[in-house]
Amino acid sequence: IGPNPLVQELTKVTEGIDGLEHIYNDSKGMIDTVSFVCPDFNKINVTEIVGVAKDITLSASKLLQPEHVYPYYQALFHEVICTDVVQSIGSLIWFNVIVGFVMFPMLALIADVDLKKWVDHKRFLENRLPPDSDEDSFDSWDGDDPRFSSLTYKGPTLDYRHVGHHSEVHAHAAAPLAPPPHHQPPEGQWMLTDSLRERAAQAHGAMHQVAHLQHADVQGLARQIQG
């Protein structure tokens, strides 16, 4: 594998400190001469500074020995990278397989079914409503449609008039309502279906029968009063 690069750098630093110490010792006479001109120069203790630097490099070199570094290497690379990361990559592969081969096809099928239902719904509405209407026209219909003119009640009506102490009842037949002028139905009106036409006809017949019975009862009551 090779030596630790940090240990090699510390070795170079130690060699540089030793070289500075040798230069200082070789220049000791010159430094003493300069100290006569600049007395403060003697306050610099190069030997002490070199000793402190060597102690620091020695402590760092001990900390970088294999017996101190290997536990961190074991925890970081062997356990985290070689074990946890590999397991996570395996789980990621299975996740991609499930999503790509199971979930996406299911999503495509569901979307296809939903789109088909939506198309069928729109076709159903187009078949029920006129071309210019929409599915909300039923709620906005105001009842002004000439197609309902055939449902107008044409039976007898009752007219009560109070004359003195007696009640005179007149029954007359209402004239059928004239159909409204022909015009195009406003945009958005809904179309009557066959079932609605049938129910309207049944309601018309029932109303006619009820009015006929009421007319007969009122005529009998009028005869009793006149008698």
pLDDT in tens, 71-94: 888 888 788 888 888 888 888 888
Closest CA to 134 of 193, 192, 190: 190
- The per-residue b/e assignment along 27-48, b for 16 or more CB within 10 angstroms, e otherwise, is eeeeeeeeeeeeeeeeeeeeee
In a domain, 101, yes or no: no
- CA–CA dist 129, 189 (Å, integer): 8
Phi and psi (nearest 5°) for 183?
-155, 160
**Angle at the Cα of 20 from the Cα atoms of 19 and 25, rounded to 5 degrees:** 100
Domain termination site, one of 64, 87, 112: 64
The confidence score (pLDDT) of residue 109 equals: 94
pTM for the whole thing?
Answer: 0.35
The confidence score (pLDDT) of residue 169 equals: 41
Give the distance from CA 198 to its chain's centroid.
46
Domain residues for the domain of 34 are 5-64
In a domain, 98, yes or no: no
> Confidence band (pLDDT; 50, 70, 90) for 163?
very low
In a domain, 10, yes or no: yes
The confidence score (pLDDT) of residue 102 equals: 92
Which whole number is the average pLDDT over 4-24? Answer: 87
Distances (CA, A) of 193 to 64, 127, 197: 93, 11, 6
Domain termination site, one of 48, 64, 80: 64
Q: Residue 148 pLDDT > 50, yes or no? A: no
In a domain, 222, yes or no: yes
What total number of domains does the chain contain? 2
- CA–CA dist 161, 163 (Å, integer): 6
In a domain, 197, yes or no: yes
In a domain, 187, yes or no: yes
In a domain, 204, yes or no: yes
Closest CA to 152 of 210, 213, 203, 196: 203
Count of CB atoms situated within 10 Å of the CB of 17: 17
In a domain, 208, yes or no: yes
Domain termination site, one of 15, 30, 64: 64
- CA–CA dist 224, 167 (Å, integer): 11
Percent of the chain clearing pLDDT 90 (strictly above): 11
